[in-house]
């Protein structure tokens, strides 16, 4: 299938590694020009070099923290126009809500709710004026099935999900071919997964491999997802064919969520 987005410009946030990188790779493979961001310049430049080798499109790397106003301004300034926005940032740390003071909550809400909302605000009206726009927010399967130790993520991402459900249905966006959807990862084999599972291993005295095996066994597909397959679904959601898909939460979890809907 030809996705029909060749030559568009995408801003893919937090994309030097993991799921964001998977999305950038899939878009670049379709001939999309991308601006990618991450905090660490070295890993970001290495990813940009990989992406440039994939296709003839333009790849611009902007180092910075996307959860800050400066980081967002720099990322937006590097993109001649944003036709596709993939919102992503690191997830909040796990823990017990009894230990979280206001600052911890504000940090999580800033990163995983207000940052995507600010970027959506900066881009969707331009998309509507041009008659094409795709926003994909990388959230989490924890929005559908909250995970106790990830309370900061459950809370902040649910706030974004509720907001997006309303915004995506605004007539002046939906009727202008601007779609806004969330892509919910289950368990994907990335640095984030390994860091989280290492924390569980250290606390419980098990080996990392034993913890990963147990986690894998909770997934009907009997494996972790890959960043490449996550990116492929994201690219389809950004495609010319997905103009009637808006305001949805697309769960990609190898069958782990046990419900029918
Ligand atoms: P990862 O740690 O593998 O990669 C995160 C990327 O984000 C890196 O490129 C990092 O440099 C960048 N980044 C982090 N904070 C940033 C910031 N403030 N500004 C700019 N760049 C930043 O993580 P991942 O597994 O790809 O996860 C991506 C998102 O998906 C996270 O929010 C995570 O919580 C969520 N998620 C992941 C899984 C999973 O199984 N991997 C499951 C559910 C949710």
Centre of ligand 1 from the C-alpha of residue 28, in Å:
19
pTM, two decimal places? 0.98
Instruction: Please give the average pLDDT of every successive group of 10 residues along the chain, which has 261 residues.
Output: 97 98 98 98 98 93 98 98 98 95 98 98 98 98 95 98 98 98 97 90 94 96 98 98 98 97 91
Centre of ligand 1 from the C-alpha of residue 92, in Å:
9
The answer to whether 227 touches 22, Cβ cutoff 8 Å, is yes
User: What pLDDT, on a 0 to 100 scale, did the predictor assign at position 55?
Assistant: 85
Which residues sit with their C-beta closer than 6 Å to ligand 1? 14-20, 37-40, 65-67, 88-91, 138, 140-141, 185, 187-188, 190-193
Query: Which residue among 12, 20, 109 has the greatest number of ligand 1 atoms within 8 angstroms of its CB, and so is best to mutate?
Result: 20
Three-state secondary structure call for residue 198: helix
Question: How far separated are the first and last CA of the chain, in Å rounded?
Answer: 27
Query: Which residue among 74, 185, 193 has the greatest number of ligand 1 atoms within 8 angstroms of its CB, and so is best to mutate?
Result: 185
Centre of ligand 1 from the C-alpha of residue 18, in Å:
6
User: What pLDDT, on a 0 to 100 scale, did the predictor assign at position 57?
Assistant: 84
- The ligand 1 atom nearest the CA atom of 65: 19
Q: Looking at residue 112, what DSSP letter applies?
A: I
The H-assigned helical ranges of 98-190 are 102-109, 115-130, 151-167, 171-174
User: What pLDDT, on a 0 to 100 scale, did the predictor assign at position 56?
Assistant: 81
If you take atom 36 of ligand 1, which residue's CA is the nearest one?
Answer: 140
Helix (H) or strand (E) holding 192: helix 191-204
Torsional sign, CA 167, 27, 140, 42: negative
What is d(CA 250, CA 134) in angstroms, rounded to the nearest whole number? Answer: 14
User: What pLDDT, on a 0 to 100 scale, did the predictor assign at position 196?
Assistant: 86
Residue whose C-alpha is closest to residue 188's, from 10, 3, 21, 4 = 21
């Amino acid at each position: 299938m030809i996705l029909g987005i060749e030559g568009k410009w995408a801003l893919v946030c937090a994309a030097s590694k993991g799921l964001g990188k998977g999305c950038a790779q899939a878009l670049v493979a379709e001939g999309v020009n991308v601006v990618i961001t991450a905090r660490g310049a070295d890993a970001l430049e290495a990813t940009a070099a990989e992406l440039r080798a994939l296709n003839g499109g333009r790849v611009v790397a902007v180092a910075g923290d996307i959860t800050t106003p400066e980081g967002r301004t720099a990322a937006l300034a590097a993109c001649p126009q944003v036709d596709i926005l993939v919102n992503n940032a690191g997830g909040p740390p796990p823990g017990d809500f009894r230990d979280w003071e206001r600052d911890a909550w504000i940090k999580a809400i800033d990163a995983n709710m207000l940052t995507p909302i600010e970027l959506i605000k900066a881009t969707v009206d331009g998309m509507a004026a041009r008659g094409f726009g795709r926003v994909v927010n990388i959230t989490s399967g924890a929005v559908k099935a909250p995970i106790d130790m990830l309370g900061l993520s459950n809370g902040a991402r649910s706030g974004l999900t509720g907001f997006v459900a309303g915004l995506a249905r605004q007539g002046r966006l939906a009727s202008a071919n601007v779609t806004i959807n969330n892509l919910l990862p289950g368990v994907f084999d990335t640095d984030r997964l390994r860091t989280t599972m290492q924390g569980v291993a250290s606390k419980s005295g098990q080996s990392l491999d034993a913890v990963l095996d147990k986690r894998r066994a909770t997934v009907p597909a009997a494996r972790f997802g890959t960043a490449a397959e996550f990116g492929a679904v994201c690219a389809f959601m950004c495609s010319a064919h997905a103009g009637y898909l808006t305001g949805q939460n697309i769960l990609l979890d190898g069958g782990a969520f046990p419900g029918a809907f």
